[in-house]
A and B are shown apart, each in its own frame.
Chain A
C-alpha cells in the first residue's frame, strides 16, 4: 500500500519563498481578489515563511480559489467550512502557518457559526475575508454584507436585511487582531496581513475586494472616495471601546487599518496535549499504556 510520497528523480531546487503557482487566477479581469493574493504573497515573502510550512484553506466562492494560485499547501474545501478545516490542521500540527481565505457569503453567511467560535477560541489562524458584498460565483445574489436596498438577482426590489458588521462581530466574538484592508491599497493590505501572520491568536482581516461584474454599487471608485486610514486618525487599537465605535462607521467614511489588537492565550497555548509539540510528531497508539485497562476490571 502506498501511503507516503516517494521522491521523483531529477529533483528541482526547492523554492525558498512563497511565490505564484503555475495556475493562473480565474478571476474576472480587474477583480479585487488580485490585490488580495498579491498582498498575501508579499506578506508571506516578507516574513520568509516557507511555502511547505504554509497551508491556505478555503471554502467555495470566487475568492476561495485563491489557494491554488500560490505555491503552498492548500485545502480547498466545501462552502462555509474552511475555518473548522483550518482549526483541525492547526491542532494536528501547530507548527504550520494556516491562512483561511474566502468570501463574505462563505464566511459571514453559511459559515458564520464557525467564524464566531474560532474567534472565541483564539485559534492562531489568519483569516482574510474578501468582502465584495455580493455572491459572485453564483452570478449575483445578495450576500450577508450587501447594503440595505441593494438590488440583486435574489432581491430585485432591494435588500431588506441589515448587513452583518464583520469588524464589530469579530471584536465582540473575541478575535485578538481585527483589521480591514482595501484591495485598492495592496501595500496597506500586505502590512495588515503580515501583522496578522505574526500575531499569536485569531487574526481577522476584512478585505474590501470589489466585484467588478456583479456589484455595480460598491465599486473600486466607491471605496476610494470613502476609505481613510485609522492610524492617521489617531486610533488606538488597544482600546476596545474605540475599536467598537470605529467599527460602526459606515457611509461616507470607511476606516481601514488595525481596529483592535490584544494578547490572550491561544487555544493551542491552553490545550494541554499540544504542549508536547505538534501532535503529528507525537507517538500514537497505546503501546506501554496497557494499564489503562485496569479501570475496566
Chain B
C-alpha cells in the first residue's frame, strides 16, 4: 500500500507516546511522509491516551480518519478505536491482558494475539517491556524493516543505552518475529520510498525557527501546549547561545522578553491562552515603547482552563483585542511544521522591522503533532546583523521621531550619547512624557494625535509586509474553503478526497490573520463562487474579522469546538452538503 495509519493506545503512564514516537520516526526514516498525532489527557497516570502515526508515499497533511493497525494495551483502547478500523485492518493485543472475541471485531478486521507479557518476562520483571514486544509486532504489520525499527528504538534511548535498551531491542525483535510468523496476509504494509525525512512537531519547528532567526532570549512559564518550545530551547541553550528563562509567571515572562529586546537582542516568549491573558498588559507596553517582541500563542480549548490537552482556535478575539487602546500588532498563523519554522523567522523580522509585537498563533494540533518536513521547507536565514552597527556620538537624537513609515531610529543602551527613555506613558519624539503636566494642553493634545498616528502607520505597513492570503487549487472551483492555522491540513487532505469524488474545491488560506491584507483578500473572496468557513471555535472568529474588515459575509460555516482536530472525512461531508444544498 502507499499509505498506512498505525494507532496505539492505553493508559497514561503506559508509554504510548514513546511507542508512537518510534513508529513515526521509523516511518519517516523510510522516506515516507508522516503525520503523528499524540492524543492525551491532563493526567500523568491512567485515563486513555493514544497515538496515531499516518504515513504515505504522497504528501499528507493530517492524522487522517482510520487506523489500519491498532496496538491496544487495554480493553478500553480496543472498544474506543475498533469503530475506526479500516477494511483489512489488524488489532494487536495480548490475551493475557484482556479478551477480544471475534464478535467484537468490525467486519474485515483481524486480530493478532501477541504474547507481549510473556516475551517481556524473558528479559525483565518490568512489564513496560511488553510495549516493545507489541511495537515489534505492530511495526511488522506496518511494513517497517526490523533493522530500521531496532535502530530507531535504540536511538530513542539516547545516551542512556545499556541493558534496558538492549532488552527493548530484543523484545521488539521477538514481537516482530511473532507477527511475521502468525499474522498471515497483510496488505497494509508500506514500502520504503527514499532518504529519511526530517520529522518534527510544530513546536520544535517554532523553536528551531526562533534559533535560526537569531533569537537570543526566550522567557516562558510552563503551559500546555507551548511547553515543548521551552524544552527544546532549554536543551539547546548552550549549543545555540540562547538564554532560556523559566520565570515566575507569564507577567514576568513578557516583561523580561521586552527588557531583553529593549537591550538589543531578539526575544521571544511562548504560552497558551491562559498565560497570554496574563501577558496582555505587557503586550501593550511593547506596542507603546515600540519594542520588538515575538509571542507564540499555542491555543488550547477554552474558556478558562478549558481542555488543556485539546485543540481549538478560540483565542483569535483575545489576540486581536489584547491590550488597552490601539497599537500596531501582527498575528501570523502557520498551518504546518515547515510553515511554523518560516513564520517564526518572519515574525522576528517583522517585529524588528516594525518595532512592535508580533504574535505567532499556533494551536494544540500544530504545536504537538509531528510532521515530516523537506529540508528546503525550512531555509535558514544568513547571519543576523547586530543592532550595534551604528554607534553615533551625541547629537539631537529622537527615539520616537515622526517618520513616513512610522518606524523611528532605534538606539540601544550602551550606545554613547543616545540616551533616551522608553515610556509606557504617552510621550513625545524624545520619549519625554506628555502624560502628566502636559496632557490636555492644546499643543500637546495635537502631539498626542501625531504620536498615535505615527505608531498606527506601522499597522498599515504590516498589512502588506506580512505573508499574504493565497488561493490553493483551481481558481474556478465551485467551492472555496476559507481557513487559518492548522485547520488547513485536514482541508488539504479533504480537497484530495473531494477531487477523487469529482468535486473541485479550492482553499483560501490566511497566513496573516491580522492585519488582514484586504487589497489581496477582497478579490479572492468576491471571486469565490461559494465559500465554506472552517474554524475550530464556537463563534467563527475569523469569519467575524473578515466581515468587519472587508464587509464580506461568509454564511456557510463548519465550526467545531469539541477539542478534537478536524478530520478530512467530516470536512468532505460538510463540503458535499454545501455543494449539493447550497448551504
- The answer to whether A289 and B239 have CB atoms under 8 Å apart is yes
Which of A146-154, A156-164, A207-215, A275-283 participates in binding chain B? A275-283
* Chain A interface residue bracket vs B: 35 or more
Smallest distance from the beta carbon of B313 to chain A beta carbons, Å?
26
With A81-B251, A114-B248 in contact, is A12–B285 under 8 Å at CB?
no
B267 engages A92 (CB within 8 Å): yes
Instruction: Give the distance in Å from the alpha carbon of A143 to the alpha carbon of B104 in the complex.
Output: 68
Give the complex CA separation of A2 and B389 in angstroms: 12
B433 near A88 with CB under 8 A, answer no
A14 within 8 A of B: yes
Interchain CB contact under 8 A, A52 and B419: yes
Task: Given A8-B397, A51-B419, A289-B239, verify A89-B281 contact (CB < 8 Å).
Answer: no
CA distance A282 to B383 in the complex (A): 12
B432 contacts A68, C-beta separation under 8 Å: yes
A67–B241 Cα distance when bound, in Å, is 31
B214:A284 contact, CB within 8 angstroms: yes
Residues of A within 8 A of B413 (CB): 52-53, 55, 73, 89, 93, 96
A45 and B211 CA atoms in complex are apart in Å by 40
**Which residues does chain B contribute within 8 Å of A89, judged by CB atoms?**
259-260, 262-263, 413
> A91 at interface (Cβ–Cβ under 8 A)?
yes
Alpha-carbon separation in the docked complex, A281 to B386 (Å): 7
Contact B421 A5 (CB under 8 A): no
Residue ranges of A at the interface with B (Cβ–Cβ < 8 Å): 1-14, 23, 26, 50-53, 55, 57, 60, 65, 67-68, 71-78, 81, 84-93, 95-96, 113-114, 117, 271-274, 276, 279-287, 289-290, 292-293, 296-297
Whether B263 lies near A74 (C-beta < 8 A) is no
Are A11 and B419 closer than 8 Å at their CB atoms? no
Task: Determine how close the nearest CB of chain A comes to the CB of B389; give it in whole angstroms.
Answer: 6
Q: Chain B: residues with CB nearer than 8 A to chain A?
A: 29, 196-200, 204, 208, 211-217, 219, 236-243, 245, 247-249, 251-253, 255-267, 281-282, 285, 289, 352-353, 355, 373, 375, 380-384, 386-390, 392-397, 403, 405, 407-425, 432-433, 436-437
Q: How far is the CB of A83 from chain B (nearest CB, A)?
A: 8
| Chain A residues near B412 (CB-CB < 8 A) | 93, 280
CB pair A88–B384 under 8 Å, yes or no, is no
Question: What's the minimum C-beta distance from B132 to chain A, rounded to whole angstroms?
Answer: 22
How far, in whole Å, are A14 and B387 apart by their CA atoms in the complex? 21
**What are 14 pairs between A and B in contact, CB < 8 Å?**
A4-B411, A5-B390, A11-B395, A84-B252, A91-B217, A91-B260, A93-B413, A117-B248, A280-B265, A282-B241, A283-B383, A285-B214, A286-B240, A287-B380
* Cβ contact within 8 Å between B256 and A85: yes
CA distance A259 to B393 in the complex (A): 42
With A96-B263, A293-B198 already in contact, the answer to whether A85 and B238 are too (CB < 8 A) is: no
Find out whether the CB atom of B259 lies under 8 angstroms from the CB atom of A75. Answer: yes
- A85 near B259 with CB under 8 A, answer yes
Contact A74 B436 (CB under 8 A): no
Q: Which residues on the B side are within 8 Å of A8 (C-beta)?
A: 392, 394-397
A273 touches B424 (CB 8 A): no
Selected from A67, A91, A113, A284, the residue in CB contact (under 8 A) with B245 is A91
The distance from the CB of A239 to the nearest CB of chain B, in whole angstroms, is 29
Measured CB to CB, the nearest residue on chain A to B200 is A296
The residue in B251, B282, B407 that gathers the most chain A C-beta atoms within 10 A of its C-beta is B251
Please name the residue on chain B nearest to A290 by beta carbon: B380
The answer to whether A280 and B237 touch across the interface, beta carbons within 8 angstroms, is: no
Apart from the given pairs A77-B289, A92-B243, A283-B384, 16 other A-B contacts in the complex at a CB distance below 8 Å: A3-B352, A4-B390, A4-B410, A26-B436, A51-B419, A68-B421, A74-B422, A81-B251, A92-B260, A93-B413, A114-B248, A280-B387, A285-B211, A285-B383, A285-B384, A290-B380
> Which 10 A-B residue pairs are closest in the complex by CB-CB distance?
A88-B259, A7-B392, A8-B395, A284-B214, A11-B394, A84-B255, A92-B263, A88-B256, A85-B259, A74-B421
